[in-house]
Amino acid sequence: MRVEEERGRTWGLLAEFERPEELVAAAQRAREAGYRRMDAYTPFPIHGLSDAMGFRPTKLPLVVLAGGIIGGAAALGMMWYSATIHYPLNVAGKPFASWPMFIPITFELTVLCAALTAVFGMLGMNGLPMPYHPVFNAPRFAFASRDRFFLCVEATDPKFDIEMTRGFLSGLGAKEVVAVEE
Amino acid sequence: MSDAARRGRSGPPVIEPVHTYASVTDKISSIVLSRRTPLFWIVGFFLSFLLAMGLLVAVSYLFAKGLGIWGINQPVEWAFDIINFVWWIGIGHAGTLISAILLLLRQEWRTSINRFAEAMTLFAVACAGIFPIIHLGRPWLAYWLLPYPNTMALWPQWRSPLVWDVFAISTYATVSLLFWFVGMIPDLATLRDRARRKGFQIFYGMLAMGWRGSALHWHRYEMAYLLLAGLATPLVISVHTIVSFDFAVGITPGWHSTIFPPYFVAGAIYAGFAMVLLLSIPLRKVYGLEDFITMRHLQNMAKIMLATGLVVGYGYVMEAFFAWYSANPYETYMMTNRMRGPYAPVYWALMLCNIVAPQFLWFKRVRSTPLALWVIALIVSIGMWLERFVIIVVSLHRDFLPSSWGMYRPTGWDFTTFFGTIGLFLALLFLFIRFLPMISIFEMRTLVPDAKPLGKEAVPDDSVADHAEPA
């Protein structure tokens, strides 16, 4: 019964490491041990950590490609429609659909839409802005934006068991393992 | 790794090797959070704010009286407004070059100057953007440049480079802002976590949007940043190309030339690096950032300035050569008029500033003396302004028919507006260095010696994992 209560309140277990190599190794071991619902928190992007955590390549490039294509097509379509259908203007007998002159604006709007998609796509996929997150309740979590590296196994992981997981994380060389309150 | 090996062949290191993750974080965030505001900042901000107020006065008077308060007249319809516009846009280009192109080329020395250079880009574009709007006869109708459904059933003229400019500049401003802000999100989170005062915690907390350094977030973040760099790279080339089309598509002698796009882009980078040097040399001194912005950075920037200066010099030589080779009397006269006409001193001052002055950068002694670099950067900045004066005013004042020739003399309001934008630019920069991290903290962490063994593909260290117990 007591364990059940604690599971309800605890969001996860947060292990603190001093060096990025230790974190990468720990993430790898945790994954090999069968933990899936976990995340790492680091002050800078660490190469190799994504692989150790088992992340799949992000879909962001495809989304950005789509954003760019939509922007470019909309720009070209707008200019073509206005110059040939909505308000055709005969300038010295030149063709209405003088597409080479439409290229600069098409290019600019392609870049604009792709860039907006990249930024808002990244923020959206990451769920930002997010005013509250349980992991901020951990007392030393402020160091995740300075010089400490954290690995968090979340309570929703099927293998999560507060004592077993705590023992496992301490065994990975963590400096400290704390329970994160919901 | 030995110290000498880290320094490599190329002289000074990109960061002094004594630093750690914590010291980098504390040193840069203390400038914003805990250190006393230096007297330099207070005096500098006050003076630049005064100049910016001059801009406010000049623009208010302009809106009340109209364009007659400027020196522009019938043959010279474009003068300070467009000179300043092109000058400011050009200055902005170095920021994007440093942040995007050098990122793609994996030049890690860019790290300590990129944030600052991006801010410079943003403020330079803001100053540039003022001019095309205020130089309209009826500035309150500036929104007619945008395509929007209207009862007049009118559209912008898609075939005009001036309309391309609207799209190029607004895209450039937007992408520069996004790039700058996205790069800053993790650092804003650092400041949020370090801030002691409630107001600062809320301010940085809102801006950081709940960033928590999650590995999954970094995974997408790095991809987004790389994509933005890839998008900004062709964008920056296109922007100054389109600015040069404003001239090259016209038939005025001295404008109608295919060398304009590359020559403008090189000039923009040249002017931009001069401005980065002009600003970073005093800043590193005042804030004691010599560990981060090292001689290596100054030397590399000096080399880029020399290289782009030579491209610009080539552009000048080709302009003169083709004026003669074209056998077109108007083109030939344009060049004679530049060299021997009423504005000849401006032309020769330009040659002195932009071709002769950078030649000193061939000497290593000059490249490693900050004061000498600062003086050369100042001369180059002035030279680039003179270049636009020569292209715009000297071409316009005597074009085809001698009966419609004229002279241009700037008025006090022209100068007040120009210096006012310098004030606005500096005031914004002062606010930036006071309230936002002027060096990218999270990227600097990847440069400290501790991060080195990680390399690009970190191999997990087995000796650490050996203790692990099977779960």
Q: Tokens 């997990």 appear where?
A: B460
> What are the structural domain ranges in chain B?
18-451
Choose among B153, B210, B457: nearest Cβ to A129: B210
How far apart are alpha carbons B212 and B348 in whole angstroms? 56
Confidence of residue B312 (pLDDT cuts 50, 70, 90): very high
Closest-CA distance, B296 to chain A, in angstroms, reads: 24
User: With contacts defined as CB-CB under 8 Å, which chain B residues touch A28?
Assistant: 460, 465
Beta bridge partners of A12: A154, A180
Task: Give the chain B residue nearest A23 (alpha carbons).
Answer: B460
Please check whether residue B455 is in contact with residue A24, taking contact to mean a CB–CB distance below 8 angstroms.
no
Task: Give the chain B residue nearest A31 (alpha carbons).
Answer: B471
Chain A neighbours among B 291-310 (CB < 8 Å)?
A: none
Tell whether B153 is within 8 A of chain A (Cβ): yes
* CATH T-level fold of B18-451: Formate dehydrogenase/DMSO reductase fold (1.20.1630)
pLDDT of residue B452: 59
Q: Tokens 């100057």 appear where?
A: B113
User: At residue B202, does pLDDT exceed 60?
Assistant: yes
> What are the structural domain ranges in chain A?
2-56+133-181, 60-125
Confidence of residue B166 (pLDDT cuts 50, 70, 90): very high
User: At residue B169, does pLDDT exceed 90?
Assistant: yes
In sequence order, the 6+-apart residues with CB closer than 8 A to the CB of B42 are: none
Closest-CA distance, A118 to chain B, in angstroms, reads: 5
Please check whether residue B188 is in contact with residue B211, taking contact to mean a CB–CB distance below 8 angstroms.
yes
pLDDT of residue B417: 94
User: With contacts defined as CB-CB under 8 Å, which chain A residues touch B459?
Assistant: 48
Task: Give the chain B residue nearest A89 (alpha carbons).
Answer: B157
Which tokens in the block code for residue A121? 């796509």
Q: Render pLDDT for B66-106 as a digit per residue (tens, 0 to 9).
A: 999 999 988 998 889 999 999 999 998 888 888 888 888 87
Q: Render pLDDT for B344-382 as a digit per residue (tens, 0 to 9).
A: 999 999 999 999 999 999 999 989 899 999 999 999 999
Tell whether A66 is within 8 A of chain B (Cβ): no
**Assembly ipTM:** 0.90
Chain B neighbours among A 82-121 (CB < 8 Å)?
A: 82-83, 86-87, 91, 98, 101-102, 104-105, 107-109, 111-112, 114-116, 118-119, 121
Burial A111-148 (b: 16+ CB within 10 A, else e): bbbbbbbbbebbbebbebeeeeebbeebeebebbbbbb
- pLDDT average, residue stretch B9-29: 76
pLDDT of residue B11: 66
Choose among B21, B459, B467: nearest Cβ to A43: B21
